[in-house]
Structure 1
Amino acid sequence: MNGIGWFQIGVSDAAVARRFYGELFGWTFGGDEAYQMITTPDEKSVMGGLAVGQPGHAIFCVVVQDVPAVCERAEAAGGKVLVQPTTTGDGPMFANITDPEGNHFGIFQPRA
């Protein structure tokens, strides 16, 4: 736990992003239109997702055991919760927070 386990890139145009990252790095994409899974050619690479229709961002996500507790600790340490703990349709819980400098990152808890 507490290692980087995911990355996410927010884009307005999925086709442009797929072409750019596909040509640049050989990444491939799958999944639904709103959230597309990213696979890199490196088997040891962290997996990621393309968040379509969201403001541009590129963030890393840390795997944690308790998303709500980490959000509380982040706020106590001077951070801010941008996206409150949310459970996805297939089970994992996530939240987005910033550190005291305003750096945005995600946390997620695998489904139980």
Structure 2
Amino acid sequence: MRRHRLKPAIAFPLAFALLAGGDRPATAQPKAEEFRPQKLLEPLPPITEFPVKAVKDVGEALNPSELVIGVTVGKESRAYPVNMLTGPRREILNDTLGGKSVAATW
């Protein structure tokens, strides 16, 4: 039996395809009839209700060194604390500011 030596440029993609468990490289696009979208996560409900405080009422509720996302629309401004956007169920806050819809996200 004669053994062939493949050049690295050929051997690596071939080995990768075999390790990926298919007859074509893992990076190849599936054919239209093979495509099946996968639901990875349940959709999060929109967050439209959250506490809003006037600057004079914030007091100790907000640490002076805390990161915020500041937004101004027209003459209205709001600061969204980043820690409100980092929980597993809080990624986007939907709001209305200055008569416009805004989405604060981190």
TM-score above 0.5 = no
Q: Which has the higher contact order (CA 8 A, sep 6+)?
A: 1
Q: Which has the larger strand fraction? A: 1
Based on CA coordinates, which of the two structures has the bigger radius of gyration? 2
Normalised by the length of structure 1, the TM-score is: 0.27
Normalised by the length of structure 2, the TM-score is: 0.28
Q: Which has the larger helix fraction? A: 2
